[in-house]
Amino acid sequence: MSDQSTLAAIKRDLAHLQDPDSAAFLQRFFKTGPGEYGHGDSFRGIRVPVLRRLAKKYQGLSIATGRRLLRSKYHEDRLLALLILTESYVRGDDAVKEAVFDLYLNSTRFINNWDLVDASAPPILGAFLWERERSVLYHLAKSSNLWERRMSIMATFYFIKRGEFNETLKLSAMLLSDTEDLIHKAVGWMLREVGNRDTAAEEKFLKKHYRSMPRVMLRYAIEKFPERKRQQYLKGQV
């Protein structure tokens, strides 16, 4: 099947699966109103488990077709593209991995909501950079684009799962003064994941920074702490 006919088949499947009522709910859930973080995004109303099944059906999709799907106006189409590209990355040789990574970095304007970032940054950006130079993460962390900044910290989830916390802690320090709630939550989440594996490493960071951290970031970071210790951090008594 040619790339063009494959893309047409995917779009037919997506059109068949769409649900206007669910789409209306997702438009609200992902904050697509004027001035909100997802402003202007369009939804088909297809749930993630359904998209994951569809990704299995179309695994092996060419990177060129993945690029075209990633540029769709529909949120679910873009998520499907990222799910397929992630699988291509995992299964691919070095050339495929590099092509997926390059496509990802050249397509960040289409990876424009927290679910898209969270599903793709660790297994693509994080995986590719695991044994490579990582300056690209610091470049993303300084971006004016909210989603690129979230990519930088979320990519480190791949490192955290492998017992390496350095990049997470450095990027967390860089993002302490970020003004966006979705960055506060992502950083707090990653700090909590560090703590799930090495409490001392998380607490060393927190004791240095917790008084200046955004409240949401701190709450996410200490969510799993014993209640007494959690209250001490919240009251500034550590």
141 and 88 within one domain: no
Q: Using alpha carbons only, how large is the chain's radius of gyration in Å?
A: 19
Please give the span between the terminal C-alpha atoms of the chain, in angstroms, as a whole number: 62
pLDDT on residue 1: 62
Write down which residue in 51, 78, 113 finishes a domain.
Answer: 113
Give the mean pLDDT of 4-27.
94
Write down which residue in 80, 113, 146 finishes a domain.
Answer: 113
d(CA 199, CA 27): 38
Any domain includes 16 = yes
Q: Which two tokens stand for residue 142?
A: 């300084």
CATH number of the domain to which 82 belongs: 1.25.10.90
Query: Has residue 2 got a pLDDT over 80?
Result: no
Confidence of residue 3 (pLDDT cuts 50, 70, 90): confident
1 and 109 within one domain: yes
Expressed as residue numbers, the domain containing 214 is 133-238
Q: What is the mean pLDDT of the chain?
A: 96
Q: What is the pLDDT of residues 81-137, one digit of tens each?
A: 999 999 999 999 999 999 999 999 999 999 999 999 999 999 999 999 999 999 999
Confidence of residue 212 (pLDDT cuts 50, 70, 90): very high
Any domain includes 124 = no
Give the mean pLDDT of 4-12.
91
pLDDT on residue 116: 98
Q: Which residues pair with 74 in a beta bridge?
A: 42
Q: Please state the three-class secondary structure of the chain as a single string.
A: CCHHHHHHHHHHHHHHHCCHHHHHHHHHHCCCCCCCCCCCCECCCCCHHHHHHHHHHCCCCCHHHHHHHHCCCEHHHHHHHHHHHHHHHHHCCHHHHHHHHHHHHCCHHHCCCHHHHHHHHHHHHHHHHCCCCCHHHHHHHCCCCHHHHHHHHHHCHHHHCCCCCHHHHHHHHHCCCCCCHHHHHHHHHHHHHHHHHCHHHHHHHHHHHCCCCCHHHHHHHCCCCCHHHHHHHHCCCC
Confidence of residue 60 (pLDDT cuts 50, 70, 90): confident
Angle between helices 3-17 and 63-70 (to 10 degrees): 40
Q: What is the pLDDT of residues 140-160, one digit of tens each?
A: 999 999 999 999 999 999 999
Any domain includes 145 = yes
pLDDT on residue 5: 86
Give the mean pLDDT of 190-197.
98
100 and 208 within one domain: no
CATH number of the domain to which 236 belongs: 1.25.40.290
* Number of domain units in the chain: 2
Any domain includes 128 = no
Q: Residue with structure tokens 């702490």?
A: 225
Give the mean pLDDT of 189-215.
97
Write down which residue in 49, 80, 113 finishes a domain.
Answer: 113
187 and 103 within one domain: no
High-pLDDT (> 90) share of the chain, %: 95
93 and 173 within one domain: no
Any domain includes 149 = yes
- Cβ-contact 156, 168 below 8 angstroms: yes
CB neighbour class for 185 (10 Å; exposed up to 12, middle 13-18, buried from 19):
middle
Confidence of residue 39 (pLDDT cuts 50, 70, 90): very high
Query: Has residue 4 got a pLDDT over 90?
Result: no
Query: Has residue 28 got a pLDDT over 90?
Result: yes
